[in-house]
Amino acid sequence: MAALWGGRFTEAADDRFKKFNDSLRFDYRLAKQDIIGSISWSRALAQVDVLTTQEQQSLEAALNELAEEVAKDPEQILQSDAEDIHSFVESKLIEKVGDLGKKLHTGRSRNDQVATDLKLWCKEQSIELCELIVRLQQALLDLAQREQSTVMPGYTHLQRAQPISFGHWCLAYVEMFDRDLSRLRDTTERFDRCPLGSGALAGTAYPIDRHALARDLGFKQATQNSLDAVSDRDHVVELLSDASMSMMHLSRMAEDLIFYNSGEAGFIELADNVTSGSSLMPQKKNPDALELIRGKTGRVFGALSGIMMTLKALPLAYNKDMQEDKEGIFDALDNWGDCLEMMAMVLQGLKTNKPRMLAAAQQGYANATELADYLVSKDIPFREAHHIVGEVVVSAISRQLALEDFTLEQLKEFSDVIESDVYQHLTIDACLAKREVLGGTSLASVMSALEEQQTDLSEGAIAAEVVGSTSGEQVQNAMGTVQLRINAHKAELRNVRPAKLSDVDDITRIVNYWAEQGDSLPRSRFDVLNSILDFSVVSNEDSVVGCASLYIYGTGLAEIRSTGIDKEHQGSGYGRALVDHMLLRAQELDLERVIVLTRVPEFFAKHGFAQIDKESLPEKVIKDGEGYLVAEPSDEVAMEFRGS
């Protein structure tokens, strides 16, 4: 297959150099993204008359046909002698449409092409990884729910410290993976910029609408500087950093479980489907899945170090060193995904040995802190109480007694303030129950945390669903819609719905109450009736307790107005739910701008609204704001939704 750059050369490349130089053996994974980018580029060329409509349609049809062929048999790519995936796609296109295929690369470089392909691939991988993190969190929550009252020793320095519940241990890792999820979403938001149209380094010579091109490819916007666009690999570094952090969490979790599964601890038993045996010792059941997770963590760390070393001294713009960006990120994200999936599988089949865990929690004087707290309750300073209990523990070790097995007389040898009520503080149940604080290990705290985490996890699942709804042909930028979908889910939980004719009287009552306070425009019953389709309401049981409307001006602009909640239900989250619901409606209608005129800007700021100059609004908006009963319209603040 002829190289894309052969015209400048009089001699063919040495076969050894070709093998050293070619990247097809690993960048074949970008076939779908390269075809998607080529389709969008053909549309952009048609818009600037480089291609006729018929030519563009022929190219797009051929590229779609190639996409289907590649999807059915990806191995055919590796059988080619093409230099890279770009050469492969172009050569196959020329086979299908002849010389027309040679026109597609007009104004485009492999530099901006590969940068675009890799970003598209990274976006897709981020979607899948978000889903896998959420599934692992759900597996942890399921286990925490099942084992919320299972008592085990908590450790510091691998020494038994204080009793905790196994459910509490599970929730610690839910928190860790929640941070991983947040980092991954932040990273994806940051690299959601399209480099296509940047050319080799100086920008394309054709008047391409790069913003339209970015939208067509599903990016949030286009990159701003062509030099940076073709040489930027920050997203690779960030994704590898995210992967490394998450793999560190997975490795710590694996280490905990390996220890809990050991014969020395015996707290848990792993399922047969994630363990293996020994070729020599028939009694062995090895935690191979967990050990491999721990081992693969180093591989991911190595990929991060490798790309940092590759990029650290590269001049602008593109250099062939950047070809080293792909193997590391491909391998690392593959392994991260595999490890997330495997850890969820481990948790699903895990069994606990409750008696063994409880016995271990009762040993090692894990209730020593409770005895110290008891002395503090008797007006002994903590440092003195700490010293007294230390002496009790020394005596307990020499006598081979648990603290709760001391007689009252024996305890009084150390402090005469100790009375018979001390024993109720030394039980395991008492140790746990006293930790009834936010983030604590008491049963009540764990149950509360479980409820909170289940709500958060349902939001994460919605995020994964929204981002995962992208089509195969064109990766949609759904990350920007995740928060609104999450908020809409909360709104649904709070019974927010479109208004019905039977709600007219309640809406009129609520709106006019707040109009009398000077906080909104008055609305007649007739007016509400005629604009009922603009309204949504929130109900408490069977009663409507709040309303809001989305008024569309017909210019891509909408205003949230007539927002009100019954006074007795203020502070219950209904107003927040209503506004979130209206923002989602605006998004579904493809409205370009959503504004609000308000005297409570701090409330709307929490939803992503930012203050704007009121004079910048169309005259009709200002005129509609006149007519307040109490306050002057000048008291209002104009705000526009900018997102979170």
Q: Which residues are catalytic?
A: 157, 278
Report the C-alpha gap between 367 and 80 in whole angstroms. Answer: 69
Tokens read off for 576: 């927040």
Q: What is the CA radius of gyration of the chain?
A: 32
Report the C-alpha gap between 199 and 218 in whole angstroms. Answer: 19
Report the C-alpha gap between 549 and 634 in whole angstroms. Answer: 22
SS3 218: coil
Q: Are 329 and 236 in contact (CB under 8 A)?
A: yes
Report the C-alpha gap between 547 and 498 in whole angstroms. Answer: 10
Q: Are 217 and 36 in contact (CB under 8 A)?
A: yes
Q: Are 310 and 324 in contact (CB under 8 A)?
A: yes
* Look-up of token digits 């590969």: 114
> Using omega within 30 degrees of 0 as the cis cutoff, is the peptide bond preceding 317 cis?
yes
Q: What's the residue count for the chain?
A: 644
Taken in order 228, 230, 233, 235, is the CA torsion positive or negative? positive
Report the C-alpha gap between 7 and 529 in whole angstroms. Answer: 73
CA dihedral 342, 346, 348, 352 (to 10 degrees): -170
Q: Are 36 and 120 in contact (CB under 8 A)?
A: yes
SS3 568: helix
Helices assigned H by DSSP within 428-503: 428-433, 443-467, 482-493
The strand ranges marked E within 358-410 are none
Q: Are 529 and 499 in contact (CB under 8 A)?
A: no
446 DSSP β-pair partners? none
Q: Are 286 and 277 in contact (CB under 8 A)?
A: yes
Q: How buried is residue 451: exposed, middle or buried, by Cβ count under 10 Å (0-12/13-18/19+)? A: exposed
293 closest CA partner among 255, 334, 328, 349? 255
* Look-up of token digits 């591989």: 299
Report the C-alpha gap between 494 and 510 in whole angstroms. Answer: 18
Taken in order 600, 606, 611, 614, is the CA torsion positive or negative? negative
Report the C-alpha gap between 536 and 574 in whole angstroms. Answer: 12
Q: What angle do CA 122, 123, 129 make, to 5 degrees?
A: 85
CA dihedral 314, 319, 321, 326 (to 10 degrees): 110
- Give the pairing type, strands 193-194 and 159-165: unpaired
Q: Are 625 and 553 in contact (CB under 8 A)?
A: no
Report the C-alpha gap between 233 and 261 in whole angstroms. Answer: 41
Distances (CA, A) of 601 to 487, 510, 638: 19, 20, 8
Q: In sequence order, what are the residues at sequence separation of 6 or more whose Cβ sits closer than 8 angstroms to the Cβ of residue 419?
A: 408
Q: Are 373 and 305 in contact (CB under 8 A)?
A: no
DSSP 313: T
